[in-house]
Amino acid sequence: MRVHAAALNYRDVMLATGMLPPDAEVPLPGGPALGLEYAGEVTAVGHGVTGYAPGDRVYGLAPRSLASHVRVRPESVGRTPAAMSHEQAATLPVVFLTVHYALARLAHLRPGETLLVHGGAGGVGLAALQYARHLGARVIATAGTPAKRDLLRALGVTHVFDSRTLDFAEQVRGATGGHGVDVVLNSLSGEAITRGLEALRPGGRFIELGKRDIYANQPLLLRPFRHNISFHALDVNQLTVHAPEALAAAFDEVNQRVAKGIYRPLPHEVYPAAGVREAFRALQHSRHLGKVVISLAEPPALERPAPAPAPAPDATYLVTGGTGGFGAATARHLAARGARHLALVSRRGPKAPEVTELVRELAALGATAHVYAADVTDPMALREVFARAHDAGRPLRGVVHAVMQLDDAPLAELDADRFHTVLAGKMRGALVLDELCREHEVDHFVLYSSVSALIGNPTQAPYAAGNLFQEALVRARRARGAAGLAVAWGGIGETGYLHRVGMTRTFDRLGAGALAPAQALSCLDHLLGQRAQVRAVGRFDWPRMARALAALRAARFVPLTGAANTGAGVDAADDFTARYTGAKSDDEARAVLADTLIRLAAAVLQTPAERLDPTKDISSLGLDSLMLAELTVSVRRTLGCDLPLMELVTVRSLADLTERVHRTLRRAVPATLTSPHEHEEARTP
């Protein structure tokens, strides 16, 4: 399909902000990506596909659909009616499939019954209104703002209540003569779930669409269930794996109703591809009505990089440090891409503990591995590796230098021997390989550097120096027309150094997350195809890293950290730290924290701080799960407090949040928050 329009969902915002729980997604090759639904035209069909042909206008469900093209299965596709635009059609798939599956297959809503829809002015709410009206069911709705409630009344909903208070339960009972509703379609969280259960009449059905309480593993009160009510949690995305046949049947029913005009496009706001940031912001802050759609009718012209050349089957590829860690992962990647002869060099060579299994894995991939015990700083030892490959008729055509040696310590504690230990492999080894490759021309000369060369590390001066040398060597090679690529890697998960020493979580909190080896090596292929020279590759949250690393506050990092964010964020963090640690009493420190949290919440809500009551229920302030995710990031950057999102979603109010954060910070800096008298008492025998 060529995508002409793609609709956004809250899941996209959570993914973009890094707040989607790890187990929330159906596993996909390459990990989660943006986009769930689209509209466009068919460009090609498989041999077994009937009923569709190039040029057909369609809409459908597809992961990664926020893209120029997408490949899908025919059961997830519907025909776009002739009078409907692509932007209109993009509003249909997810919301109507969700509503149809929820109300027809789970709730079995019947004519004459009453449905309570929370978030009635959103996409799902408006689709539910269409479903109920066609069926002949009554609708009671809630919405979070006066404008949205006015919209619902204009659409003919008689009873519309405020979703940001817990009064809706009593109001619903009043509107139903004390009987309650038959079905609740819920997207609220916390105490609102209990109130929704209480609003059901005996035999009622509760359909949970929200994810916040589920992923926070919140308890569910059972007393309302004494009236034979039922509870269903629905995640349509998970059904693609757990119940694909049922999902396909439901989507076929949706398509039939779209064709008959029963299901009609929802109100929506269209943003051009260049305005995708504004579109995400509008959805994040619930400033929209209906759906948010990205138009790709005129996508920006992008130059597709050339793919990396496949390894030559009659050549040898050398990987130093190739018997373990990321070097071994590189060897597997080369074999998977077609390399048939590998020379793996390390100090222990065949005696390395992982070698036997590694050689077996490489053989299963079709590659023969020759393992050498050699010091990469020894020209004669490496010359022999080159000579053996040449004499066997498989000349060496590529080099990956993945050797690393660490000896972390402050600069003042390092001596010449310790410097030499770290630098030898990085510098001398790279020079030896460079000299040998002057005699044996290679297609690829790849040196594994580190992001430490870019940002520095107070305890890794020689390691940073060695990596900087490698990058300079690559530039010199490229200047004389030879092959060369230096990759300054960030953290590598599963097999990298951070993983082996158990520091992945620590660096993740700093904003330097780990890349999966497959992702990292895919990036390497991309860089080789680009004929790149020196690149840094990793998962870097630069503003967050700037909070912890003073070096990133230098002017040269402004393009990465953002001029406004870096200065303001760091100043705000320093100001808070000074005020909080300088407080003369515990109460004063708590007051500083409360004031800061109110200002951070107000910034997320885009409202004056004085309008926020810290004692009110946090959901009544308008802080939904997406805004809480944004508040989590603000708390982390400004307060230096790593408060998990799953803990944040359980707080009752900003006052409650203040107490939780205060306890966390007090454990970190207890001495600064005690009074002078307390110190005197502590010194008294």
In the predicted model, is pLDDT for residue 565 greater than 70? no
pLDDT in tens, 613-645: 888 877 777 776 667 767 777 787 777 666 665
In the predicted model, is pLDDT for residue 499 greater than 80? no
Helices (H), 142-275: 146-154, 168-175, 191-198, 212-215, 236-242, 244-259
pLDDT in tens, 374-428: 999 999 999 999 999 999 999 999 999 999 888 888 888 888 999 898 999 999 9
pLDDT for position 563: 45
Tokens found for residue 492? 């590598």
Which residue, chain included where needed, has tokens 């509008």? 282
CATH number (domain holding residue 619): 1.10.1200.10
pLDDT for position 486: 96
Whether residue 547 lies inside any domain: the answer is no
pLDDT for position 569: 47
CA angle 137, 141, 143 (to 5 degrees): 160
Indicate if 525 and 615 belong to the same structural domain.
Answer: no
CB 35 within 8 A of CB 62: yes
Indicate if 396 and 346 belong to the same structural domain.
Answer: yes
* Backbone dihedral region for residue 150 (phi beyond 0: left; psi -120 to 50: alpha; all else: beta): alpha
140 CB-contact burial (10 Å; exposed 0-12 / middle 13-18 / buried 19+): buried
Residue 683 pLDDT grade (very low, low, confident, very high; cuts 50, 70, 90): very low
Number of domains into which the chain is organized: 4
Which residue, chain included where needed, has tokens 């989590």? 632
Residue ranges of E strands in 402-549: 444-450, 485-489, 512-513, 534-537, 539-540
Whether residue 305 lies inside any domain: the answer is no
Distances (CA, A) of 668 to 88, 598, 665: 53, 22, 5
Q: What is the mean pLDDT of residues 270-292?
A: 85
Q: What is the mean pLDDT of residues 251-259?
A: 96
What is the DSSP pairing of strand 37-41 with strand 57-61? antiparallel
Helices (H), 606-673: 625-639, 645-648, 654-668
Q: Which residues contact 441 (CB under 8 A, 6 or more apart)?
A: none
Q: Residue 636: which of 614, 615, 664, 611 has the closest Cα?
A: 664
Tokens found for residue 365? 């991939």
Whether residue 356 lies inside any domain: the answer is yes
Indicate if 533 and 462 belong to the same structural domain.
Answer: yes
Beta-carbon-side half-sphere exposure of residue 94 (alpha carbons within 13 Å): 29
In the predicted model, is pLDDT for residue 360 greater than 50? yes
pLDDT for position 642: 64
Q: What is the mean pLDDT of residues 92-107?
A: 96
To which H or E segment does residue 319 belong? strand 316-320
Q: For residue 632, report the phi and psi dihedrals to the nearest 5 degrees.
A: -60, -45
CA 144 – CA 159 distance, rounded (Å): 14
The residue with greater pLDDT, 464 or 567, is 464
Worst-scoring range by mean pLDDT, 450-454, 473-477, 664-668? Answer: 664-668
Indicate if 291 and 377 belong to the same structural domain.
Answer: no
Whether residue 273 lies inside any domain: the answer is yes
Task: Return the number of other C-beta atoms located less than 10 Å from residue 618's C-beta.
Answer: 25
Residue 287 pLDDT grade (very low, low, confident, very high; cuts 50, 70, 90): confident
CA 524 – CA 446 distance, rounded (Å): 9
Indicate if 86 and 108 belong to the same structural domain.
Answer: no
pLDDT in tens, 427-453: 999 999 999 998 888 999 999 999 888
Q: What share of the chain is helix, strand, coil (3-state, %, to 5)?
A: 50, 15, 35
CB 404 within 8 A of CB 346: no
CB 135 within 8 A of CB 113: no
In the predicted model, is pLDDT for residue 681 greater than 70? no
CA 53 – CA 413 distance, rounded (Å): 71
Q: Which residues contact 371 (CB under 8 A, 6 or more apart)?
A: 323, 344, 345, 346, 349, 350, 352, 355, 359
Range of the domain at 230: 95-242
Indicate if 522 and 593 belong to the same structural domain.
Answer: no
CB 188 within 8 A of CB 118: yes
Q: How many residues does the chain have?
A: 685
pLDDT for position 675: 38
CATH number (domain holding residue 284): 3.90.180.10
In the predicted model, is pLDDT for residue 34 greater than 50? yes
In the predicted model, is pLDDT for residue 568 greater than 70? no
In the predicted model, is pLDDT for residue 263 greater than 80? yes
Residue type at 472 in one-letter notation: A
Indicate if 426 and 397 belong to the same structural domain.
Answer: yes
Residue type at 122 in one-letter notation: G
Residue 612 pLDDT grade (very low, low, confident, very high; cuts 50, 70, 90): confident
Indicate if 530 and 569 belong to the same structural domain.
Answer: no
Task: Return the number of other C-beta atoms located less than 10 Å from residue 47's C-beta.
Answer: 4
Worst-scoring range by mean pLDDT, 115-119, 255-259, 358-362, 647-651? Answer: 647-651
Indicate if 452 and 530 belong to the same structural domain.
Answer: yes
Whether residue 51 lies inside any domain: the answer is yes
For the chain, percent of residues with pLDDT exceeding 90: 52
Whether residue 260 lies inside any domain: the answer is no
Indicate if 219 and 230 belong to the same structural domain.
Answer: yes
Indicate if 86 and 101 belong to the same structural domain.
Answer: no
CB 576 within 8 A of CB 596: yes
Tokens found for residue 435? 């000299």
In the predicted model, is pLDDT for residue 605 greater than 80? no
Worst-scoring range by mean pLDDT, 171-175, 190-194, 520-524, 667-671? Answer: 667-671
- Looking at the DSSP bridge assignments, the partners of residue 487 are 448, 535
CA 429 – CA 329 distance, rounded (Å): 20
Which of 481, 508, 540 delimits the end of a domain? 540
pLDDT for position 446: 97
Average pLDDT, the chain: 86
Which residue, chain included where needed, has tokens 């940031």? 277
Worst-scoring range by mean pLDDT, 55-59, 116-120, 396-400, 658-662? Answer: 658-662
In the predicted model, is pLDDT for residue 678 greater than 70? no
Q: Residue 13: which of 633, 513, 547 has the closest Cα?
A: 633
Q: Residue 94: which of 126, 60, 129 has the closest Cα?
A: 60
Residue type at 142 in one-letter notation: T
CATH number (domain holding residue 107): 3.40.50.720
Whether residue 666 lies inside any domain: the answer is yes
Q: What is the mean pLDDT of residues 196-221?
A: 88
In the predicted model, is pLDDT for residue 185 greater than 90? yes
Residue 297 pLDDT grade (very low, low, confident, very high; cuts 50, 70, 90): confident
Cα-Cα end-to-end distance for the chain: 80
3-state secondary structure of 243: coil
Q: What is the mean pLDDT of residues 149-162?
A: 92
Cα 546 versus chain centre, distance: 20
Indicate if 644 and 511 belong to the same structural domain.
Answer: no
In the predicted model, is pLDDT for residue 292 greater than 90? yes
CA angle 308, 310, 311 (to 5 degrees): 120
Residue type at 515 in one-letter notation: L
Distances (CA, A) of 513 to 207, 270, 550, 593, 647: 36, 33, 18, 28, 21
Report how many helices (DSSP H) and strands (DSSP E) the chain contains, helices first.
29, 21
Confirm whether pTM is higher than 0.85: no
pLDDT for position 305: 60
CA angle 356, 448, 343 (to 5 degrees): 35
3-state secondary structure of 114: strand
Whether residue 177 lies inside any domain: the answer is yes
